[in-house]
Amino acid sequence: MSPLEKRGLIAVLSLAALVVFLAWPTASLQCPLWEVWVVDQSGQPIQGMTVRLTYQNYSAESESHSEDLPTDANGHVLFQAQILRVPRVQRAFVTARSAMQGVHASFGPHASVWTLGKGLDGIAVNDGYVTDRTGTPPHMASTIVAKPRS
């Protein structure tokens, strides 16, 4: 094999390895295991409230997801963790597209929970701010105080 043929073969094999690397899906925690308790303003659990989990990884996908669960007799629901598997090239493309939005861009995973039903609604709050899980921790626990809709 001539030196030129060897270089060509190395180039082809390198390109093939790069294509496989970029096309191979990687897994990441999209949304944590999330326990939610819904209570009224006096702290009593509310059965039958709808709790909605919404999540999206702005660095890997262009669509958001949601899941609704009803609270049990203890005002409790448990959302299972969600794993996202997408090719590296898709992650790079979506991240670049997000970056083009400038100061209004969002990156990485985001998730939140809120509740509604029975003329009440509420959202998970932490230290006075809406709870927005942005990558860590792998397990979340929130108590939502449902208040009458205004």
Distance, in Å, from the CA atom of 22 to the CA atom of 12, rounded to the nearest integer, reads 15
Angle, in degrees to the nearest 10, between helices 3-23 and 88-99? 70
The predicted structure's pLDDT at residue 51 = 98
Identify which of 1-5, 87-91, 98-102, 124-128 has the greatest average pLDDT: 124-128
What is the rounded average pLDDT for all residues in the chain? 88
Residue pLDDT, tens place only, 46-105 = 999 999 999 988 877 878 999 999 999 999 999 999 888 888 887 777 777 777 776 666
Q: Tell me: the pLDDT tens digits for 11-50?
A: 888 888 888 887 788 888 888 999 999 999 999 999 999 9
Q: Which domains can be identified in the chain, with CATH numbers? A: 25-148 (2.60.40.1120)
Specify the pLDDT at position 104: 61
Q: How far apart are CA 122 and CA 116, in angstroms?
A: 7
- Please list the alpha-helical segments (H only) found in 41-107: 88-99
Q: Looking at residue 92, what is its pLDDT?
A: 76
Q: Read off the DSSP letter of residue 73.
A: T
Per cent of the chain over pLDDT 90 is: 44
Three-state DSSP state, 9:
helix
